[in-house]
Every structure is written in C-alpha cells, then in structure tokens.
C-alpha cells in the first residue's frame, strides 16, 4: 500500500519535529514545579513566563491577558460560564453551527435557568444573520455573544470585528472560539473589540492537551478550576510545562511562516476542488468551503452525489490509507451525524466528507485522493 494520507487536520495536526525538540528538555532535565521557589522551580517558571510573553507578543497583547489551559474546550467553558457567574450575563446569543464545547455549555446553562438563549438564524450556506444581532441585543439584559471565528466543519468565516463592534455598542460580552483559526490567521488583540478568544495547540502542529484563553483586561472573571494560585489565581493545577513550551514554539513557527503556509494550503484546496469537479459529476461543497477566497483555507467540505456505497465512503477511503472525516471529529462514534450539516438541512442521501489540509499536505496526496474517489464513484 502507498504511504498513508492524512486529510483530517481540522481534527488535529501532526506535531512539528522542531516543536518536539523544544519540548524534550522539559520532559527530562527541566522537571521542576514552577510554583517551587528553589532553582529547579525557578528555571521552569522562567520558561513558562517566556512562553506566555511569546504568545502575547504574537497576539499584540499583554502577557497578563494570556492564561494557559488544557485546550480549547476548557478555555471555552471558562469564558462562557464565568461570563455568567462573574460578569452578570443573563442572556446569550449563539448559533446552531458552533462547536459542541460552546453549544453544550450554553445549553446546559439555559437548562439550569441561568441564562436565556437565543440562536441566530443561518441560511443553507451557513451564513449567519448578523444583521439581526443588534435588534436582539437591544431588548435583552446583560448579554454574551458567542460565535466562532472559523467553522471547523464547513469553513465559514465570521467578521469578528463587525460582531465585536455590535456587542460593544450594546455593552455585551463577546467570546469567539478561535480554535480553527489561531495559528492560521493574524490576531491583533489591541485592535479587536473582543473579550475572550481561545486556542488549542494541536490545531497548529503543537501538542495535544494544552491551549490558552485570552481574557481582555477589562473583563475580570473568577476561575473555573479552583485549587491553587497558578496562572495568577485564574486556574488551579500545576501547569503542563512541556505542553506550554510546545504551544509557544508551534505558534511562533506558524506566525513566522503564516503567509507561505497559507498560500501552500490554499493552492492545494483549490486544486482538490477543481479536480473533484472535473472527475466526479454532481459534486457540490457545503457551507462556504468551496469559496476559495472567502472561507477557512484549511477546510473543504464536499457533498458527493447519491451512490449505493455512500454509507461506506469513509470506510473505503480508510482502507485506501486516506484519513478524513464526515464532520467534526469530536462527535465521532455517534449516530447523530453532523449537527452543523443538519442545521444547513443538507441532503441526507448525499455523502458529506470534510477534507482538511496542513503545511505537510502535498499535491501528490491530493491527486491520489481524488483518483481513489473517482474509482469509488465509478464503481457500481
């Protein structure tokens, strides 16, 4: 069999070897607890704060606004729950297209009677009715707006500047899940009208199990996890030092090579789109993902025409050594399908596959994947 092909980079990305090498000493030589005052602890504490400064510099913000977490899900939960518990939020606005880390958290708060929850409408292409946001916020109590920057399944991008300005106009808190876009787009937190953004290192070739939460200095919240004075009293628990070191290095690499990586990946996405349309009739693209210039450049969500083997498509691709997904990887193992595609009222008779790319994806892999797909759809 040919070399395996990984086209599920929206779920996770391979660890950059340079990141691993940077992490390695903190697994071995530099093992101190950063809360300890002796030399072993001080050495690690210094590395922790250097990593924080690096992340802050890339985001053009203060190190005091960066808090390390176990990943995007914890960061989302912290921002949302503490907006209610600390900032007095009584109402939240979101969409049916959000990641479950956001949706389930908000739905649970609503179930507990802590907030009223409003959903923005979306059209069949996944575009949100942002025009209605101001009217919704106008007649509500203290509100939270929680809308993701880049959709992990269909690639739609949100104008976070516009949404932030609307939220600011109505004294609302604005949180955006930026897990899919951090490390792939430039963020200037001094210019963005936003209270919270989040990141997970494994989405930009860093390690799993570590992320960060940006908290605007004007949004003072209490910790979600208690137990110690770590992260300036914002998150109890000994810091994942080697993870944080890896996160900072991965973000440095991503930021330094952002345009080159973007052009490379965008070119591969465009080629795959063109080849699919040429080789398989009836191909369409879900959400905005087929709009090369105006969507998340790492994601192409393909809707394949009805075929007797549609239910086995992902399995057959896997047999050929090609890894991709039918939706968000976070919902794998369920039979409910993609909540995002359900919200778009996607045709259940068509197979929907998300292909997502990274800096390591090659043109040869794209060509081979399309050839395999062409063979599968040519068969009866």
List the domain boundaries for the chain: 5-14+258-378, 17-256
Q: Does residue 8 surpass a pLDDT of 70?
A: yes
Bridging pattern class, strands 91-95 and 116-120: parallel
Q: Which two tokens stand for residue 260?
A: 């080159």
Angle at 113 between CA 111 and CA 119, to 5 degrees: 65
Band of the pLDDT at 329, cuts 50, 70, 90?
A: very low
Band of the pLDDT at 139, cuts 50, 70, 90?
A: confident
Q: Does residue 311 surpass a pLDDT of 90?
A: no
Q: Does residue 173 surpass a pLDDT of 80?
A: yes
What average pLDDT score do residues 33-56 get?
Answer: 96
CATH of span 5-14+258-378: 3.90.1150.10
- Give the per-residue SS3 of the chain: CCCCEECECCCCCCCCHHHHHHHHHHHCCCCCCCCCCCHHHHHHHHHHHHHHHHHHHHCCCCHHHEEEECCHHHHHHHHHHHHHHCCCCCEEEEECCCCHHHHHHHHHHHHCCCCEEEEECECCCCCECHHHHHHHHHCCCCEEEECCCECCCCCCECCHHHHHHHHHHCCCEEEECCCCCECCECCCCCCCCCCEEEEEHHHCCCCCCCEEEEECCCCCCCCCCCCCCHHHHCCCCCCCHHHHHHHHHHHHHHHHCHHHHHHHHHHHHHHHHHHHHHHCCCCEECCCCCCHHHCCCCEEEEEECCCCCHHHHHHHHHHCCEECECCCHHHCCCCCCCHHHHHCCCCCCCEEEEEECCCCCCHHHHHHHHHHHHHHHHCC
What average pLDDT score do residues 124-137 get?
Answer: 97
358, 324 in Cβ contact below 8 A? no
What average pLDDT score do residues 343-356 get?
Answer: 93
Band of the pLDDT at 215, cuts 50, 70, 90?
A: very high
CATH number among 1.10.10.10, 3.20.20.70, 3.40.640.10, 3.30.950.10, domain 17-256: 3.40.640.10
Q: Which of 125, 130, 329, 330 is catalytic?
A: 330
Q: What is the pLDDT of residue 250?
A: 98
Please state which of the ranges 62-71, 131-140, 212-221, 334-343 shows the lowest mean pLDDT.
334-343
What average pLDDT score do residues 192-219 get?
Answer: 98
Q: Does residue 330 surpass a pLDDT of 70?
A: no
Q: Does residue 334 surpass a pLDDT of 50?
A: no
Q: Does residue 163 surpass a pLDDT of 70?
A: yes
Q: Does residue 97 surpass a pLDDT of 50?
A: yes
* Mean per-residue pLDDT over the chain, rounded: 95
What average pLDDT score do residues 103-117 get?
Answer: 98
Q: What is the pLDDT of residue 332?
A: 45
Q: Does residue 21 surpass a pLDDT of 90?
A: yes
Taking the complete model, does pTM exceed 0.75, yes or no?
Answer: yes
324 flagged as catalytic: no
What average pLDDT score do residues 291-298 get?
Answer: 97
Q: What is the pLDDT of residue 1?
A: 54
What average pLDDT score do residues 17-21 get?
Answer: 98
Q: Does residue 89 surpass a pLDDT of 60?
A: yes
What average pLDDT score do residues 227-245 get?
Answer: 96
Helices 100-111/72-85 angle, 10° precision? 30
What average pLDDT score do residues 297-317 get?
Answer: 92
């Amino acid at each position: 069999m040919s070399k395996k092909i990984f086209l599920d980079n929206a779920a996770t990305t391979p660890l950059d070897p340079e990141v691993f090498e940077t992490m390695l000493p903190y697994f071995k030589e530099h093992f101190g607890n950063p809360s300890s005052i002796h030399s072993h602890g001080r050495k690690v504490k210094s590395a922790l704060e250097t990593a924080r400064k690096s992340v802050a510099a890339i985001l053009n913000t203060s190190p005091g606004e960066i808090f390390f977490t176990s990943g995007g899900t914890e960061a989302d939960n912290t921002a949302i729950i503490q907006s209610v518990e600390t900032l007095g939020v009584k109402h939240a606005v979101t969409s049916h297209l959000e990641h479950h880390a956001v949706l389930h958290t908000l739905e649970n708060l609503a179930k507990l009677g802590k907030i009223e929850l409003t959903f923005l409408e979306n059209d069949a292409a996944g575009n949100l009715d942002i025009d209605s946001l101001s009217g919704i916020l106008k007649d509500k109590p203290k509100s939270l707006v929680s809308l993701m920057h880049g959709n992990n399944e269909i690639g739609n991008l949100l104008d976070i500047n516009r949404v932030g300005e609307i939220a600011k106009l109505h004294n609302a808190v604005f949180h955006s899940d930026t897990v899919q876009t951090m490390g792939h787009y430039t963020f200037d937190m001094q210019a963005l009208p936003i209270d919270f953004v989040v990141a997970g290192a494994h989405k930009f070739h860093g390690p799993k199990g570590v992320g960060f939460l940006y908290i605007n200095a004007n949004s003072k919240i209490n910790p979600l996890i208690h137990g110690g004075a770590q992260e300036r009293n914002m998150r109890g628990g000994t810091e994942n030092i080697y993870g944080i070191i890896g996160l900072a290095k991965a973000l440095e690499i991503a930021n330094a090579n952002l345009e080159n990586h973007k052009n490379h990946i965008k070119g591969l996405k465009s080629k795959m789109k063109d080849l699919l349309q040429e080789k398989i009739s009836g191909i369409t693209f879900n959400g905005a993902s087929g709009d090369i210039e105006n969507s998340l450049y790492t994601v192409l969500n393909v809707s394949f025409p009805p075929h007797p083997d549609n239910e086995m498509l992902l399995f057959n691709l896997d047999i050929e050594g090609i890894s991709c997904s039918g939706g968000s990887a976070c919902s794998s193992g369920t039979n409910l399908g993609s909540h995002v595609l359900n919200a778009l009222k996607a045709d259940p008779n068509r197979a929907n596959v998300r292909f997502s790319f990274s800096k390591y994806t090659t043109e040869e892999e794209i060509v081979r994947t399309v050839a395999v797909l062409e063979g599968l759809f040519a068969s009866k």
